[in-house]
Structure formats: C-alpha cells, structure tokens
Chains A and B, each alone.
Chain A
Amino acid sequence: MKAVTRIQGRAIPFGRRNVDTDVIIGAGHLKTITRIGLGRHAFETVRAEPGNVFDDPAFAGAPILIAGDNFGCGSSREHAAWALADMGIEAVIAPGFSDIFAGNAFRNGIAAIVLPQRAVDRLLVVAADHMLTVDLHIMTVASPAGDLYHFEMDAFRRECLMAGHDEIALTLAREPAIRAYELRTGT
C-alpha cells in the first residue's frame, strides 16, 4: 500500500449526515471482481441532483472529502473505500464514521479523520475557497485562512498509513503465536 503522510488540496464540501455505503457505491456496481474503476460510479444518486458538489469543476480531482456524522454507515462493502480511492480521495473529514467503513478506508490508504461538528461546519465553509492540508505527522488539518484543528488517530492505523504497511504480512510474522493459540485451545 502507498504510504500517506501529508495530503494537500481542495476539499469537497459534502457535509451530509448518515451517508451510507449504498450511496457511496450502489449495489449495481458490486458485481466487479477487481478493486479498480469504481470512482466514476461513486455517489451516483447524489450526482443526479442538479448543482451537486461532486460535479462542481472547482473540486475536480480534490483529494479530501468533508462529510457529516456517521459517514459510511450500512453495508460493509469495501467497494465504497475502493470507489473513493479511485476518485483520488486520500482523506475524509467527518464528525464520525461507521466502524467498518473507517477500517476499510485505512486499509486502502484513506485517512478517516474525526473532528468535532463545529470544526467540520467551519471547514465546509472554508473549503469553498481554500485548499486544506492534512498532516498525519502532527495530526492537524489546516487552511490558509488560519484554521488549525488537531485530531486524534489510532496509533496502529496511523503507523500503517504512514508506512504503507501490508497488514497481512505483519500478522503472518506472528505465525508462531497464532499456532501456539491453536495448540493451547485445541482449535
């Protein structure tokens, strides 16, 4: 996996709450047997709305998405994270994420960044005119307008993102411990 440390660019001010993974990528696109090419099908039902932010040329190729609370709820489909990655999204900022989606995002090199609702509300406004910078080293989101927000991130996930670790290889190195567990429990 590609290592991610600093993400800088425009941020799509989406802001909607309870966005489920069916909205991120509809079930009609889950029949693929590869991980690539889903970006053009992302947010189809939102893109059907006139004037939606995803089709605003100002945000074309933006690496950051700002969303509302409980982003990525519903289905566990990793296709949602694949679709965002395929769009070029490297960070999603929201007041909260579904547990499964947050894990899927990290495993695909997307930083799921939790900030308080008030900070997110402010960034939704700022993003209309400014780029944002997400720095995983110092765990901040900053704007040229002077905004600076600190976020917390699970240390293991942050390390995996920044080093671009293959999590399976890390676990396979623990094989003797797994084998010992199986022997101990008769599994």
Chain B
Amino acid sequence: MSRAPRTLYEKIWDSHVVERAEDGTCLLYIDRHLVHEVTSPQAFEGLRLAGRPVRRPDLTLAVADHNLPTTKRVDANGMRLPIADPESAGQLAALEANVAEFGVPYLDADAAEQGIVHVVGPEQGFTLPGTILVCGDSHTAAHGALGALAFGIGTSEVEHVLATQSLQLKPSKTMEVRVDGSLGFGVSPKDLILFIIGRIGAGGGTGHVIEYRGEAFAAMSVEGRLTIANMSIEAGARSGLFAPDDKTFAYLKGRPMAPHGEEWERAVAAWRDLATDAGARFDRSIRFDAREVAPIVSWGTSPEDVAPITASVPEPDSFADPERRAAARKALAYMGLVAGQKLQDVAVEHIFIGSCTNSRIEDLRAAADVMRGRKVSASIRQALVVPGSGLVKRQAEAEGLDRIFTEAGFDWREPGCSMCLAMNPDKVPPQGRCASTSNRNFVGRQGPGARTHLLSPAMAAAAAVTGRLADVRELIRS
C-alpha cells in the first residue's frame, strides 16, 4: 500500500490515534508518564475526589527532583535526613503517600537511581523511540533526543493521563531545523541550541514540533541531543525530535527498562523505520551551517537574548521591533548590564553546573576537562556541580571527576534540580550573577533578583576559573 510521505512526527502521531474526531482532535494513547512531586499532588487529589484509579501504573514512573536539597540525604547509619523546609518536605511526603496509595512505581529519594526526571527516563530505558511520553514539566521535550514524541503537560493533563492513559490533542505543525557542517573547536550542543533559540526567538516555535536534522545532529552523541531537545521549549516548541539511529540503540541497549533479548531485536527493527520519509513536507524549515556557531552566553531575561562570547551587550535600539527594544531595556536594567559592555568583562560570583539540560556524564567531563589542574577564582562566592542522577554521580566518581571539581573549589552535590529554579535551598542571592548551565534566564528564576547567564558546561568552568564570562577556547588552547 503506498501512502503520502510522512515526517517522523506524523508517523508517531498516527500510530497512537485511538480515535479521531471530525474537527481533527485526536484521542492519543500515552505510552509513558513520568511524575514528579511539584505538578502531581493536585492531580492525585483530583483522582481521589472522583474515586478514580490510576489506569496503568505499569506505564508510569515517579521520582522527586525539584524540591530535594542537594546536600547529604542520609546520615552515617543510612537513615534519611529530614528536609528543613516544611513545604518541600510536605510535597515529598505527598508524592510518597500518593504513589503508595495508587500503586505507582517510584524511585526512592535515597535510591542510587534517583535523579532529575529527564535524566532518569533515558538512563533507565523508560524513554524509548517511537513512544509518546509525557510529564508535568516543560523540559519533557528532552526525551525527543531518543526519538520519543515527548512533551510537557499541565496538572489537569497529568490527572487525565493518570485516569485514562490518553490525551485529547490536535496535531502540531512541523518545523525542520537543519544544521549541516560540524561544530567548531570548543563549541558544544548547548551553544548550538542557544544559537537556534536566538535565531527563531522564544516564541518562534510555538504551535510546532521541531525535528533536528543534518550532519551536526547526526554526529552528535545521544547526551548532546538530550541537551538540544530539552531546550526546544525555550523556542516555544512543545517538543523536539531526533530520528533514532545506531547511536540511540547503542545508548539504550541493556538499560534496565528497555526491552531485552529477542524483544530488543524486534524493537530495534521497528525503530529503524522511525525516520522522516524522503519527500515529506515540513510546515517550516530553517537551515544553517554549524560553523556559524561560536560559544554563546545569554545577556538578558529570555533565552532568545543570546550572543557569542566575543560580542558585546547589545544596544536595545539595535532591535527593529519596538516590543523587543522595550524588553531589552528592561532586561539590561534587571541584569545590571550596560549596552556596549564586552561580555567577557562581565564578572560573575556564582557558578552552577547541573539541571536537566546539562548534568549528564559528558557535561561533567567537559567541565572537568577545563578545571583539571585549575582553581575556582577567589572572586567566586559559590560554585556547584550537581549531577543529574545518582548513577551519573557514581560514574563521575569512578572517573575521578568529583576530585577534580572539589580540589578546584567546587561543591560536589547530591542529584536534583538544584539552582535551576529556586525551589530548594540552592538559590542565587538578589543581584547575584550566575554563570549557569541551566535552561532559563527568566527574571527571578534562580532566586528573587538573581541574574542568570546561560552557557555550556565548559563555558561555566571557564567562568569559574576566570571569575567572569570567558571564552573557553582560550583556556583549552593554552
């Protein structure tokens, strides 16, 4: 049977349609549901009030990440230490009570497998190509790196999925982001995604699902792709996709929740069909060459406010759009920056290496490579490395990365969302300036009044060494 060529997105969508209404709204089956403590309590409460069970606990996985302090979790006897903030403790207790009541599989806060939900999913093989995966968290887009159609949902939808294992949705438009050529020396996937967001804007991908295509993405590791897909939402796209390939299969093979044996062979054979057909049309397409991309830092309060590290803080009047000019003026005032100031002259006092964007083993290796034999500048008040999961932490320790960081003057912490979002004790103080590998430089994101500069793990390490925003290429060359 011949049919019109389809994009990867359309293939995954079509294979999950339970029912299609006349107006195009589809009841879509959801294969995988990740649950965390912040966006789930009201959903479980809703189920309880309506007397509804969780329809498929076996397709659901819960883990706490946002609230957990990143300091020591257990005492010398292995007993759990209490969380000082009563509200955070309450939210963790609510999650633990809810998973027990509804029979949802849970990675315990003290378990080695605990970590940031978007690090844990791929790491456990819970995230699989061709599946639809949701979580009450916008960075769910990350899982698209493995060829899963993955998107963030609100709490009402969390409750809907818990109750029905499905969602009522209309298809998104498709956008191709094609990058050929290879990334230059010292340029990482984080720089590339910040560059892309700068190009298409913080709302440029709204209503679209992005598929990342071309040589630069084909050459990229699965962990690099996770960084890229993760930040699709910062361009407004609800989801980002990579066609699964041999790198994806090698990454997943042997993961605890991935298929095994004959089932694995059958799965890989099916996954090989998960690619956009030749001749399939995207609603939008943008293309550029990877050689255009330099190490990037953000200067404002939206992830679209980015510039190469070699540039200066832009003049608000240089923007054509009057709304953008006004936003840039406000952003510079909040950030305490002056137009025309060289980005490399901007001093920082806080360094954060972590978050669901950049807390995997390759991220830690990249930062450690810069720190090896160097010290955190005396002008830095706080420098944190927060591994994305207990397993990442264990791996890093086996490689001796923890010693490189601690000898340099970094704090080596327990896994969690940490300083990305000011929900736990790791915060940037008012007017404090942080070089951060996280994903959002919003007003107050890292704490009230905090000033965030988004950058890659290697660039964060360069900032730690120099005490200012710095071009990592100058440090790793020397």
Contacts and interface: CB of A to CB of B under 8 A. Distances in A.
Interface in B151-210: 151-157, 159-160, 163-166, 168, 170, 172, 202-203, 206-207
Contacts of B122: none
Nearest to B40: A33
A156 B153 contact: no
A29 to B, nearest CB: 10
A30 B92 CA distance: 13
Interface in A32-88: 32-35, 44-45, 68-70, 73-78, 81
Contacts of A129: none
Interface stretch (B22-30, B359-367, B395-403): B22-30
Contact of A178 (B29, B38, B59): B29
B254 interface: no
B411 to A, nearest CB: 21
Interface in A89-106: 96-100, 103-104
A81 B154 contact: yes
Interface stretch (B1-9, B83-91, B308-316, B467-475): B83-91
Contacts of A97: 206
Contacts of A31: 38, 67, 85, 87-88, 90-91, 423
Interface string A5-36: 00000000000111010110011101111110
Contacts of B52: 168, 172
Contact size class for B?
35 or more
Contacts of A23: 442-444
B325 to A, nearest CB: 11
Contacts of A154: 23, 25, 170
Given A33-B42, A99-B207, A178-B27, A168 B423 contact: no
Interface residues of A, number: 53
A17 B201 CA distance: 12
B40 to A, nearest CB: 9
B45 interface: yes
A82 B324 CA distance: 28
Nearest to B207: A99
B65 interface: no
B21 interface: yes
Contacts of B153: 76, 100, 103
B94 interface: yes
Given A22-B444, A26-B444, A27-B422, A98 B42 contact: no
A172 B163 contact: yes
B444 A98 contact: no
A100 B451 CA distance: 26
A186 B468 CA distance: 55
Interface string B429-455: 000000000001011110010000000
17 contacts: A23-B444, A26-B448, A28-B423, A31-B87, A73-B202, A75-B137, A75-B138, A78-B42, A98-B203, A99-B238, A100-B152, A104-B155, A156-B23, A156-B170, A172-B52, A178-B29, A187-B59
Interface of B: 15, 18-19, 21, 23, 25, 27, 29, 31, 38-39, 41-42, 45-46, 50, 52, 59, 66-67, 85, 87-88, 90-91, 94, 136-138, 140, 151-157, 159-160, 163-166, 168, 170, 172, 202-203, 206-207, 233-234, 236, 238, 302, 304, 323-324, 327, 421-423, 440, 442-445, 448
